[in-house]
Amino acid sequence: MVPAVKSDKMLWWLRAVYLLTGLMFWYGIEQLFLDKYLHNPSARGYVTIAFTATLVLFDIPGGVLADRIGRKFCLIWSALAQIAGLVILGTSDSLPIYIVGTVVFGLFWCLFDGAAQALLYDWLAERKETKRYAKLQGSMYAVWLTGAGIANLASGFIGHFWGLRSAYLLSAIPGTIALFCIFKLREAPHERKTETPWYTHAIDALREARSHKKIFGFALQFMAANVILLTIGEFGQIYLLSFGVSTIVLGLLWAATAGFAAAGRGLAHRLQLKPRLAIGIFCMVLAAFALVHSAVGIGIFWLVYGLNEAVSNIAETEIQDATSSHIRATMLSMVNFAGNTLAIPVVLLFTAYYRQNGIMAADQFVALAAVVVLLATLLIKPAKHVKPAPDIAPEPPKVQEVI
């Protein structure tokens, strides 16, 4: 076992990576960039669909790559994709070029998310401390959101005084530093099946999902939260701008949004033992958001964003816990794949409904539909674990491969 000091050092390097990849100074003012340079009222919808389609196409390959070749290898390439995507986005002056940058930036997320989560879980599994995963992963993502919040605070001022393009190009600096921090991470040993075809990872993940109602139920919750993020969340700046806020105020409001998201991730572990209660609270807040059509809704929007992150963290933790180590990243990628595939037609409908009826009506439609889906997941009861008979000798423990 690796000494605790080294373990703590690895966690600090991982936190640094999350913080630096969150320091994207363009998040808070992206809608203003789209309005000024692309001159297309449907640009937000096209960009969101392009990003989601990238996740659909590359999430599973990214997870398989992390399981077969290594978590750290994927993280290195994710940092390179992030830097390249930022340069393309910041220098674009048309929707097609911006979409190309969105696709490249989407590759960063495909390679980063599942690999980073699996790396942390494997690290804890090596130390027999997987019960800490929910709290640590929540704190990691809270650190990422803290970085996003700091960047959002700065984004309005950067965009106002230095120009909207500079917000993208300045973001490449923390992205480059994150790349060097990734080299400091140590990847814990995990079971690898490189002698089998790559698609067997996906087949094994499907079999586990079908045989575990727990995975299926929490996957539905994870997918519902993802759809909310890509509609109500992704179009959130349009919602905030509907109240007539300025560039600086938009950055401040979006920073507060990131703060609530960080709080949701950071506190998710406290609700881990009561996931049904978390869903109940979330549904009530979603219903309130759907019924309020005034500036008070901004506060409820923040609560929706924070609780959505908490529900995602709870569901992802439960899925990780129920999945075998050799397909852990693949399972997460497949859940993301299903959620993003579902999100594409929903975003198309959302965009059309928003253009015809306004952002508040579109948010109301998604919020009420999500309440129905989330409440339905509470009806799925996982099968009880059956203990082996006392007269059956337990199987000998598997010898973990040391890499």
43-64: pLDDT as tens digits: 888 998 999 899 888 877 877 7
Domain membership flag for residue 403: no
Structure tokens at 94: 């048309």
Domain membership flag for residue 11: yes
> Which of the four pLDDT bands, split at 50, 70 and 90, describes residue 325?
low
> Which of the four pLDDT bands, split at 50, 70 and 90, describes residue 270?
confident
One-letter identity of residue 157: F
pTM, 2 dp: 0.70
Per residue, what are the HEC states of the chain?
A: CCCHHHHHHHHHHHHHHHHHHHCCCCHHHHHHHHHHHHCCCCHHHHHHHHHHHHHHHHHHHHHHHHHHCCHHHHHHHHHHHHHHHHHHHHHCCCHHHHHHHHHHHHHHHHHHHHHHHHHHHHHHHHCCCHHHHHHHHHHHHHHHHHHHHHHHHHHHHHHHHCCHHHHHHHCHHHHHHHHHHHCCCCCCCCCCCCCCCCHHHHHHHHHHHHHCHHHHHHHHHHHHHHHHHHHHHCCHHHHHHCCCCCHHHHHHHHHHHHHHHHHHHHHHHHHCCCHHHHHHHHHHHHHHHHHCCCCHHHHHHHHHHHHHHHHHHHHHHHHHHCCCHHHHHHHHHHHHHHHHHHHHHHHHHHHHHHHHHCHHHHHHHHHHHHHHHHHHHCCCCCCCCCCCCCCCCCCCCCCCCCC
* Distance from C-alpha of 245 to C-alpha of 116, rounded to nearest angstrom: 36
Domain membership flag for residue 95: yes
Domain membership flag for residue 151: yes
Contacts of 378 (CB under 8 A, 6+ apart): 276, 279, 280
pLDDT at 210 over 90: no
Domain membership flag for residue 57: yes
Domain membership flag for residue 282: yes
**Residue 230 vs residue 7, higher pLDDT:** 230
Domain membership flag for residue 211: yes
**Residue 153 vs residue 2, higher pLDDT:** 153
Overall number of domains in the chain? 1
pLDDT at 6 over 60: no
Contact 19, 147 (CB under 8 A): yes
Contacts of 115 (CB under 8 A, 6+ apart): 62, 63, 66, 71, 72, 74, 75, 78, 329
328 CB-side CA count, 13 A: 26
Q: Check which CATH number belongs to the domain holding 65 and give it.
A: 1.20.1250.20
Domain membership flag for residue 214: yes
Ranking 4-8, 227-231, 382-386, 392-396 by mean pLDDT, the lowest is 392-396
* Distance from C-alpha of 268 to C-alpha of 313, rounded to nearest angstrom: 6
Structure tokens at 74: 């994927």
Which residues form the domain of 175? Answer: 7-188+198-377
